[in-house]
Chain A
Amino acid sequence: MVKAYVMVKANTGEADRLKNAIEEIEGVNEAHIVAGDVDIIAKLSVDSPAQVKVISADGIQGISGVEDTRTYIAMD
């Protein structure tokens, strides 16, 4: 099991729509709207590191209104 956190930078004020769209992606456990220089943090848990890339690169980055993502894979 691989756990990862994806920091999402938006370019739209529709934070609710983005949060819902991200939470609908399979492998995403939860997503929260946060204060600061990123807008949403999503927590993933999947079977392999390759799936982390699929979710962040294809899934989350494919949502309109997402400007950029940064992914952190948990090591513990």
Chain B
Amino acid sequence: MRFVIIGAGRVGLRTARVLSAEGHEVVLVERDADMADRARTEGYEVVEGDGSRESVLEEAGIDDADAFGALTSDLNTNFAACMIAKHYGCRTILRIDEDYREDIYRKYADEVDEIVYPERLGAIGAKNALLGGDIRAIADIAQNLQVVELTVQPDSPMKGYTISEISLPADATFLAFGKNDRPLAIPSSDESLEEGDRLAVLADFEVLDDVRQLIVGNAKRAAAGGI
């Protein structure tokens, strides 16, 4: 696919990097000459200019882009750019600068298809590292609701039990199960939990610790993992 991203800072450039690594075509728009140079040095096609100007976005090829990422740190620029990109028929992604604004833009900004708040994802990564390797946050669903992946440890209370015997707290739901090295899949009820198996659970923050006690136990935490 073809993408236009405005902002070649820590968020935009990193996004361009992962998209390119997956074989997609990315054009960056950056108004700061030094940052534009740096992105060019890394091999990206960069248009230097203000990403909220239609002529600049046209030069970046907004006309035949599949999706548009407004990823600068300036919310006004990002929003104006999304309005233009929407007019050109792109799917639009807006980076916001403060988390309370997420609800406002979801409700009112018709020009915006998706909202990203990079600090939220950074916090998940930091939290994973702090919690240690036997519990890993996969996604924040809502403010109090999270999908986590837990790894069965040698002294886990549920070790040896089958899937159907697992009884989680009320505010938690078992989503997927992965045998030792195999990917997560829809669980079948007669599989049993062995050391190294992984479970994906949707849980409220309130019961997250109970879920952890049940699946992981009180074992010394393994090496920290991130996202």
Contacts and interface: CB of A to CB of B under 8 A. Distances in A.
In the complex, which range does the number of interface residues on chain A fall in?
10 to 19
A57 to B, nearest CB: 23
A13 B76 contact: no
Contacts of B97: 37
Contacts of B107: 15
Interface in B37-84: 74-76, 79
B102 A35 contact: no
A15 B79 CA distance: 17
Question: Which of A13, A15, A39 has the most B CB atoms < 10 Å from its CB?
Answer: A13
B88 interface: no
B174 interface: no
Contacts, number: 31
B103 interface: yes
Interface in A24-46: 33, 35-37, 39
Contacts of B103: 13-15
A10 interface: yes
A26 B103 CA distance: 28
Nearest to A16: B107
A10 B76 CA distance: 16
A11 B100 contact: yes
A12 interface: yes
Contacts of B75: 35-37
Nearest to A18: B104
Interface of B: 74-76, 79, 97-98, 100-105, 107-109
